[in-house]
């Protein structure tokens, strides 16, 4: 890749990075005028920076002359596993949540009609320390699954819900009511629905377009997590997953519903 032919120094790099971020994070092509207005740069400076970014395939102009992300982003997307990118962005937050709560923390993604757990921070306690990475559970019995249902990242199953082997049965009507509440407050709760004595709380991770691409959960026994404590964890967890979402480019005011 050629170097950017713009004035040397960190200021030029910062300006080019700011321009690139506007183009990449926008939900639609950006006109030259809109970029000038938003960043407050001189037209000549903006033009030089955009030309350099375009030469280096970081932005491209469409037929209307507006700017879109360049072909290097498409090349990156085809050559890299986005799951690893999600892990890289999320790991520090997962570690912080685990340290704060002392409970098991999981990161999961939706895959068709299944919840796939891709990362775990183990509990500090012996009781409640379970490796969930290789465990398949009915999504409607898990807080992670409820998040994906509530935000339409996974389709709801048809008909009545199968009862969990060791938990409290949940009717379809109860689940639908729960999903409305999940979307309203921004986090999901599964109270002894998978297994008696087990509670889980989960919150969504949004991509730039507003879609939910992952969910983070905290789980542990009811002997340590009370219903009051679960609500407190839920609010904190929602704030922490919003921080992950911002790193993925999510801006609530600009997202597609």
Tens place of pLDDT per residue across the chain (257 aa): 444 444 456 788 888 999 998 888 876 889 999 999 998 989 999 999 999 998 998 998 888 889 988 877 766 655 556 677 888 899 999 999 999 999 999 999 998 888 989 999 998 887 665 677 767 788 999 999 999 999 999 998 888 888 877 788 888 899 999 999 999 999 999 999 998 999 999 999 999 889 999 999 999 999 999 999 999 999 999 999 999 999 888 888 654 43
Domain range for 198: 82-254
Q: Clarify whether residues 153 and 178 are in a common domain.
A: yes
Whether the CB-CB separation of 240 and 202 falls below 8 Å is answered with no
Q: Clarify whether residues 160 and 133 are in a common domain.
A: yes
Expressed in percent and rounded to 5, the helix, strand and coil fractions of the chain are 45, 20, 35
**What domain count does the chain have?**
2
Q: Clarify whether residues 44 and 150 are in a common domain.
A: no
Given 45, 78, 111, the domain boundary residue is 78
Q: Clarify whether residues 91 and 200 are in a common domain.
A: yes
213 backbone dihedrals φ, ψ, rounded to 5°: -105, -10
Predicted confidence at residue 75, as pLDDT, reads: 65
Predicted confidence at residue 9, as pLDDT, reads: 60
Please state the pTM of the whole predicted model: 0.70
Q: Clarify whether residues 74 and 95 are in a common domain.
A: no
- Whichever domain contains 49, its CATH number is 1.10.10.10
- Distance CA(83)–CA(139), nearest Å, equals 20
**In sequence order, what are the residues at sequence separation of 6 or more whose Cβ sits closer than 8 angstroms to the Cβ of residue 97?**
105, 121, 216, 218, 237, 240
Residue 248 has which token pair?
Answer: 């993925």
- Distance CA(164)–CA(77), nearest Å, equals 38
Predicted confidence at residue 129, as pLDDT, reads: 58
Given 78, 93, 112, the domain boundary residue is 78
- Whichever domain contains 250, its CATH number is 3.30.450.40
Q: Clarify whether residues 217 and 103 are in a common domain.
A: yes
Q: Clarify whether residues 91 and 51 are in a common domain.
A: no
Q: Clarify whether residues 167 and 208 are in a common domain.
A: yes
Given 61, 78, 95, the domain boundary residue is 78
């Amino acid at each position: 890749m050629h170097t950017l032919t713009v004035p040397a120094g960190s200021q030029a790099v910062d300006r080019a990075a700011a321009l690139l971020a506007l183009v990449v994070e926008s939900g639609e092509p950006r006109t030259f005028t809109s970029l000038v207005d938003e960043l407050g740069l001189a037209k000549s400076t903006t033009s030089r920076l955009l030309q350099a970014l375009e030469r280096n395939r970081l932005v491209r102009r469409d037929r209307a002359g507006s700017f879109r992300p360049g072909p290097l982003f498409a090349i990156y997307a085809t050559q890299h596993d986005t799951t690893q990118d999600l892990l890289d962005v999320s790991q520090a937050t997962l570690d912080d949540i685990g340290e704060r709560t002392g409970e098991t923390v999981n990161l999961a993604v939706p895959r068709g009609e299944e919840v796939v757990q891709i990362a775990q921070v183990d509990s500090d306690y012996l009781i409640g320390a379970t490796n969930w990475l290789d465990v398949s559970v009915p999504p409607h019995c898990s807080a992670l699954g409820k998040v994906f249902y509530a935000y339409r990242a996974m389709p709801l199953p048809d008909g009545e819900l199968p009862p969990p082997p060791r938990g409290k049965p949940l009717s379809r009507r109860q689940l639908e009511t729960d999903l409305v509440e999940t979307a309203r407050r921004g986090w999901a709760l599964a109270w002894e629905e998978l297994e008696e004595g087990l509670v889980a709380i989960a919150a969504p991770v949004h991509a730039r377009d507003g879609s939910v691409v992952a969910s983070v959960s905290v789980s542990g026994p009811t002997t340590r997590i009370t219903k009051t404590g679960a609500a407190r964890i839920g609010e904190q967890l929602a704030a922490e997953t919003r921080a992950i979402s911002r790193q993925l480019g999510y801006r609530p005011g600009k997202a597609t519903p």
